Amino acid sequence: MTITLAIGQIKWRCRRAFTLIELTLVLALLVVITSLAAPAVSKFIRGRALDSEAQRLFALIHAGQSRAVSEGMPMVLWVDAKSGTYGLQAETTGANGDPKAETLAVDSTLQIAVLNTGINGMTTFNNLPAIRFLPDGTVDENSPQVLQLTDASGFSRWLVESSNRMGYEVTDTKP
């Protein structure tokens, strides 16, 4: 009886296991699902980098405007499209420089560009295009009107100067 029971248990265990064909079919199904989902996930991740960089640049614009008002001196947000960096600092600094100055690098998958210069030329800072925030909270009329962030796929986000020159807005449609 013990032998019969052991053989019965072995047969029962074999029935619970998957066959090689079943495992192969499940793996093939997983490969198909992954290959369909991977492009959508990569597009989502690239889009997140673009949106994240646009929000970071927008936050720095807001910080520059706030500093100009609170410190009572012009602030400049400069953009170096060639090196992919941008930064914020006081326009007039003492011998020690601006201790609150910030320099940020654009995500390596993105490019930044300055478009639509101001009415009477373009505001520059250290020979770079710059947005100049005045102590009254407005943007200098010669500051760039549009900043463009573009990813490797050609998708863009624009930071566009508002019509009242009180700041910038992020948009995903070309101005």
pLDDT computed for residue 161 by the predictor: 87
Q: Coil, strand, or helix at residue 39? A: helix
pLDDT tens by residue, 94-120: 656 788 888 999 988 889 998 875 556
Arithmetic mean of pLDDT, 131-146: 89
Q: Does domain 2-171 have CATH number 3.55.40.10?
A: yes
Domain ranges of the chain: 2-171
**Any idea what DSSP says for residue 94?**
-
Matching residue, tokens 């989902």: 37
pLDDT computed for residue 126 by the predictor: 85
pLDDT tens by residue, 10-26: 555 555 777 889 889 99
Higher pLDDT, 3 or 130: 130
Higher pLDDT, 45 or 89: 89
Contact 169, 149 (CB under 8 A): no
